[in-house]
Structure 1
Amino acid sequence: MAKKNDWKNREGVVYSTNSDFDYAYQQQEEATTLSPQQQQLRVQLDKSMRAGKQVTLVTGFVGASTDLEALGKMLKSKCGVGGSVKDGEVLIQGDHRDKVVQVLIKEGYKAKRTG
């Protein structure tokens, strides 16, 4: 049974006169997570669209969203601050670029400070 708002996700099908027609939704498969040695992470400071507040932004992660959330949780606990994981990026509250780069390198990631 389709959910109430699933009709919004239909790509290209508007209406069918066939009474037996059942739209097959495309399932997006999770990307496989690369090993830490293959990851190219970039750590930068960002203040745009944040009311002047500084956040440390970690980008470039390739893999499943659950692995990215685990990385974000580990970085937040190591820095002792809050943050979030949105749109494939880890946001850490405050300017913690040096510490984040050190933690990532210690965990085996290829991390570079940019910006």
Structure 2
Amino acid sequence: MDLQDQLKNLFPDHVPEPESSPKSASKPDFWIQDEPLLCKYEKRRGKPTTIIAGYNGAASDFKELAKQIKQLLSVGGGIKDEQIIIQGDYRDKIMEFLRAQGFQVKRVGG
């Protein structure tokens, strides 16, 4: 007698829910815009920073995008004045990630 049979004996009125396939790690649904995102490199207070600007979608999508970029790179950063500010020079990795998400990206400076 397996576990399913034992459960049926204990709970005869219970109707099990159909098993759904587990969600795979799919790409999040961000609002994809027509204009490219701008990926800049600046030094602020002598420290390198990468700035992503030009996103004009919903604020919640913008915050989620910033969160995923920070988790991908394992770095700090934040959102200020409709820009994502990432600590360090990670332009290439960020641009690769954004292209994989479906965004158009334009490298600005250097």
**Secondary structure at 1:54 match in 2:** strand
| Of 55, 61, 80, the match for 2:55 | 61
Which AA in structure 1 matches 2:53? T
TM-score (norm. length: structure 1): 0.65
Structure 2's unaligned 5+ residue stretches are 1-29
| Of 66, 76, 81, the match for 1:82 | 76
The answer for the alignment partner of 2:102 in structure 1 is: 108
- For the aligned residues, what is the CA RMSD? 1.5
Q: Over residues 40-65 of structure 1, what are the superposed CA-to-partner deviations in whole Å (9 max), with x where a residue is unaligned? A: 20101011xx2111110000000222
Identity of aligned residues (%): 39
Judge conservation of contact 2:70–2:86 (CA < 8 Å) in 1.
yes
Structure 1's unaligned 5+ residue stretches are 1-33
- By how many angstroms is 1:37 displaced? 5.0
**Whose radius of gyration is greater, 1 or 2?**
2
The answer for the alignment partner of 2:93 in structure 1 is: 99
Which AA in structure 2 matches 1:77? Q
TM-score (norm. length: structure 2): 0.68
Q: After TM superposition, which residue ranges in structure 1, 4 or more long, deviate above 4 angstroms? A: none
| Of 73, 83, 93, the match for 2:67 | 73
Equivalent-residue separation in structure 2 for 1:98 and 1:51 (angstroms): 22
Which AA in structure 1 matches 2:32? P
Judge conservation of contact 2:37–2:106 (CA < 8 Å) in 1.
yes
Judge conservation of contact 2:31–2:58 (CA < 8 Å) in 1.
no
Equivalent-residue separation in structure 2 for 1:74 and 1:64 (angstroms): 16
- Corresponding residue pairs, total: 80
